[in-house]
Structure 1
């Protein structure tokens, strides 16, 4: 059976998940893997952006040229009680929206995130008879996702040699 496959990448989850393990993703290798291994028709990349960050803007231009469909959200800065700041883009709702909007366009969904907020979305996809694959750092993945019946969970480390930046 030939699946129509879409991939949904939660950028911060993957970037921090690989960084914690001492490696970085080569996004050219990643999209090549997704297109060759799964014949992905669409690869969404959900991330935050900072208006004046030229390096980040250039990186996003490269991703677009490689074939990623970028869904970007402005980074917000939150003040902490100790006087420090935290930067967040919170792309979870965006990822969920696009996944639900496109639900009839794919048979297989590949998620690059272990965020527990996506558990309800994954359960819905299982109910809708979608083939669901999740790749994430197992140490940073919500227990509920790892235990979910009906998905194929893979520690991101299984892709390390395939998608690692040299």
Structure 2
């Protein structure tokens, strides 16, 4: 993983995609350690986390994670999910954040040197190309260590640098013992001590932005 110390860096995290990638590799992400790692790599300008929320629910399993990140150095970008019924009568939940992430990346690009995209979604290839045309370096963080790989080949080829999340495990993983103790004895509230694990992302957003379930 190559960065220049004088680079202005921003992290753009596709929350659902990163959750699915970490889960497929079998570890939880400590977001405090993740932030610290990239602060060491250069001048970290911003870390943005994108996820959709089911606002009609009294309690969302992702809400504690969002609150923690919001108080601990991340910029949260959320929007409500949309439900609709397709032609076959199946209820679908739509929560795609690609447009929001792409618009923000292009808007902030003039103040950045290096964009780090945490996603393997091939739809971001055009965004990466557009950022490169503006003279920006783009790194993509996902993994090839699963079957099938979590990163689209066209996205990996377009990036200036591909970083396999598996190679970062020892640097950003969450201590399982600490997680067990916290889950067993403490609230998930906004304490700034320790990191927060990726598995807080609800199961309904594990793999795809457009999801469906039987009614």
Whole-angstrom CA distance in 2 between matches of 1:85 and 1:108:
40
Who is 1:96 aligned against? 102
Is the CA contact 1:31–1:66 (under 8 Å) kept in the aligned structure 2? no
* 2:42 is aligned with 1:32: no
Match of 2:151 in 1: 141
Structure 1 residues 5-41: Cα deviation after superposition (integer angstroms, max 9, x where no partner): 1110000110001111211211121112122223311
Separation (CA, whole Å) in 2 of partners of 1:30 and 1:78:
36
1:113 maps to 119
Q: 1:98 to 1:83 in 2, by over 3 A?
A: same
Unaligned stretches of 5+ residues in structure 2: 176-215
Aligned to 1:11: 15
C-alpha separation in 2, matches of 1:47 and 1:65: 16
Q: How far off is 1:112 after superposition? A: 0.4
Q: Kindly indicate whether structure 1 or structure 2 has the higher relative contact order, using CA contacts under 8 Å at least 6 residues apart.
A: 2
Secondary structure, aligned partner of 1:99: helix
Deviation at 1:45, TM superposition (A): 0.4
Aligned to 2:46: 42
Q: SS at the partner of 1:90? A: coil
RMSD value over aligned CA atoms? 1.9
Q: Secondary structure at the match of 1:140?
A: coil
Match of 2:169 in 1: 160
- Taking the aligned partners of 2:86 and 2:19, their CA distance within structure 1 comes to 23
Q: CA deviation at 1:88?
A: 3.3
TM normalised by structure 1 equals 0.89
Q: CA deviation at 1:56?
A: 2.5
Residue of 70, 74, 79 corresponding to 1:68:
74
Counterpart in the other structure of 1:22: 26
Cα distance between partner residues in 1 of 2:28 and 2:44: 22
* C-alpha contact (below 8 Å) 1:48/1:89 kept by paired residues: yes
Deviation (angstroms), 1:126: 1.5
Q: Verify the 8 A CA contact 2:115 2:136 in the aligned structure 1.
A: yes
Deviations 1:134-160 (A, max 9, x none): 111231111101222x61011111111
In structure 1, how many angstroms separate the alpha carbons of the residues matched to 2:92 and 2:16?
A: 14
Structure 1 residues without counterparts, runs of 5 or longer: none
Tell me, in whole angstroms, the C-alpha distance in 2 between the residues paired with 1:88 and 1:19. 21
